[in-house]
């Protein structure tokens, strides 16, 4: 029940164009940071950060498709 409420509030907040642009900008910076840090680390953590960055990019693409 709480998840539905949070989802509705998030969609309401993202429907405002300036909020969506700010959120996508922050997510772009996060993806860049994750992928860049994955390049400098070694081991399993680098793979984890890399795939989190890729998942973030996929989520950004979804937001661009849905809210533009």
Residue 54 has pLDDT above 90, yes or no: yes
C-alpha to C-alpha distance for 28 and 12, rounded to whole angstroms: 21
Binning pLDDT at 50, 70 and 90, where does residue 53 land?
very high
Number of folded domains that form the chain:
1
DSSP letters for 20-53: HHHHHHHHHHHHHHHHHHHHH--SHHHHHHHHHH
pTM over 0.85? The answer is no
**What's the confidence (pLDDT) of residue 1?**
66
- Find the domain containing 31 and state its range: 21-67
**What's the confidence (pLDDT) of residue 30?**
93
Is residue 9 in a domain? no
Q: What is the pLDDT of residues 4-41, one digit of tens each?
A: 888 888 888 888 888 888 888 999 999 999 999 998 98
């Amino acid at each position: 029940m709480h998840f539905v409420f949070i989802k509705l509030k998030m969609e309401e907040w993202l429907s405002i164009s300036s909020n969506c642009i700010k959120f996508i900008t922050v997510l772009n910076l996060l993806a860049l940071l994750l992928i860049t840090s994955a390049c400098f680390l070694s081991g399993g953590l680098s793979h984890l950060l890399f795939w989190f960055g890729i998942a973030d990019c996929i989520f950004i693409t979804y937001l661009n498709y849905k809210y533009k």
